[in-house]
A and B are shown apart, each in its own frame.
Chain A
Amino acid sequence: MSEREIFRQLAVQRWLFEEAALLDARRYDLWLGLLDESIHYRIPSRSPMPQQDVKDFSTWSVERELDAHDGVSLIDDDLAGLHRRIGRLQTGMGWAEMPPSMSRRLVANVLLRDVAPDGKISVTSSILLAKTRSEERVFFTGERRDRLVPAGDGFRLCERCVILDDAVLVAENLSLLF
């Protein structure tokens, strides 16, 4: 790794950690400020699929499991959609987060995949989201595929795709963001 790459890796990692800390702290107002106006936030559904050619590991790919059944996403939000999602929590009737869930996001395996000519960085990370609310204690794990655009001292998030490791969510809802 060049010095420049190391610097970029650390900067992206630090940004992801700070972002996770804002969500853990329920500072959705500040989190919305991290989003680019072109943000596309998506959680595709996932379904187990047989390998096309069991001898060829390239056909064992996760990709085939995404949108396997008609491409119906769990979340498919633009900026306005995310604002509605967050705004709902401030109405005093967003019962799924009243009182708010206790949550912890562990972000790991941060890998910079690509830096586009326009400066946008493609980064993947693994996330463990633990959530406790009422009598429910749930754990989600997944991969996040992000695109960050450099902005000021940090970045803005312009794309996030969350690949959850579940076909059937063992959770009563998805009231938190990854």
Chain B
Amino acid sequence: MAHEEYVAADGGWIRPEILSDPALYEMEKERVFGRSWLLLGHVSQLPEPGSFLRTFMGEESVIVTRDRSGAIGAFLNACRHRGFQVCQEDRGTAHRFQCRYHGWVYGSDGTLIGVPGEESIYYKEIDKRRWGLAPVAQVDIYKGLIFGNFDPDAPSLTEFLGDMAWYLDVMLDRREGGTELLGPHRWRIAANWKVIAENHCGDEYHIGFAHGSVFPPDLGPMRATPIPGAREIRPGLGHGLGVNIYPDEMKPEEWLNSGINSAPPHVVDYYVATHDEMVQRLGRQRAHMTLIHGAVWPNFGMVPIVNSLRIIQPRGPHEVEMWSYCLVDRDAPPGVKAWLVAQSAASFGPAGAFEQDDAGNWAAVTKTSAGNMARKIPLNLQMGLGHEERSDRFPGELGLTASEINQRGFYLRWAQDMFGSNAA
């Protein structure tokens, strides 16, 4: 099977069937979710030895733990006896996980520490060292974010993130104390995971129209004309983001008081007061940048302009479970955190003024793509094709405010992972 059947060599079109075909989805389980670095959580969610959280890698339940030594690890949430989930809670503190089916017990480092009847009915013959929870092959942390990879041979997290890391720092590394992750909101959408991930990755075009209800009428349609200082950036490797770039002479209070970013005085004061720290840590160039939206391949989406991070958990070819978090500076005052959390929920999440309108679009795209006729008819991704630019100030390639540079990068990465062809 050649990838050209599904994604144009230049990324300029895709066949909709990739958004709905069950056989391709089965392949994605291995070739995408089985080999990529997937976001598991944040160190702030595991504050002490024994802290744990439950999440998913693809559709597979995983526990992420901080063991007695303080080390963070991740394990398949499946007893080695019959596969029942040994952890039934979203988050908590425990040094042992006992399966409810037959009572096998595991430590927070995954080791099998107890088997009921070990002496009497197993004749002391079971080798407990061989039957610990299956570890996620690689776990690594980037500035607080915990990632896992099922593939022991996968390139390192640093290599996987590539130039995207330079941009992620803008939200993760503003301050010495780093960040904390709050939430999540969780809800189901009848959409293929890629429809949602590509939207996060690169879709500035829809903002003025799909989210027209949120913008004043004079601001809505402007996304169809380039905004000075706002760019789509393709760092490569399937990642993508959109940013606002402010001139060196501009003061942070000026951009903090514009657009949907508009914040009350105590929040503006906080960002103004911490601006120098950010300049010191990241340099003026990144301190004068806000991230609007973005995605780390494959299913880690973000809307940093409202401090929202999301994991798009696949649930079969036609459904996802959205996990939407709020990311805040750990050392921000409580009043600032409270405002950021409220602003995040008022705009994104299931009741958010923006995201309410997204879900129906994503579901409809998925539905259409399953049609026997429609699934073969290519969809156009040509916006800005051939007009990508380079800049010595920003790693990666640049497009205008509205450009499908990042969707092309996203689907070419998909083709690369699935069929081994060259990704942009």
Contacts and interface: CB of A to CB of B under 8 A. Distances in A.
Given A50-B92, A72-B326, A168 B321 contact: yes
22 contacts: A43-B351, A69-B91, A70-B182, A70-B183, A72-B182, A72-B183, A72-B184, A73-B345, A85-B353, A88-B213, A91-B213, A92-B212, A93-B209, A93-B220, A94-B213, A95-B357, A95-B360, A96-B356, A135-B367, A172-B187, A173-B350, A173-B355
Interface residues of A, number: 40
B361 interface: yes
B346 A174 contact: no
Nearest to B351: A174
B215 to A, nearest CB: 9
Interface residues of B, number: 43
Given A94-B213, A170-B188, A74 B345 contact: yes
A32 B220 CA distance: 26
Given A70-B182, A93-B209, A76 B345 contact: yes
Interface of A: 43, 45, 47-50, 68-77, 81, 84-85, 88-89, 91-96, 133-136, 167-175
Nearest to A85: B353
B356 A173 contact: yes
A136 to B, nearest CB: 7
Contacts, number: 121
B389 interface: no
B342 A76 contact: yes
A174 B356 contact: yes
Given A45-B185, A74-B185, A172 B91 contact: no
Contacts of A172: 187-190, 350, 359-360, 363
Contacts of A95: 210, 213, 357, 360-361
B346 A81 contact: yes
B409 interface: no
A70 B363 CA distance: 30
A84 B353 contact: yes
Nearest to A133: B360
A85 B214 CA distance: 9
A45 B350 contact: no
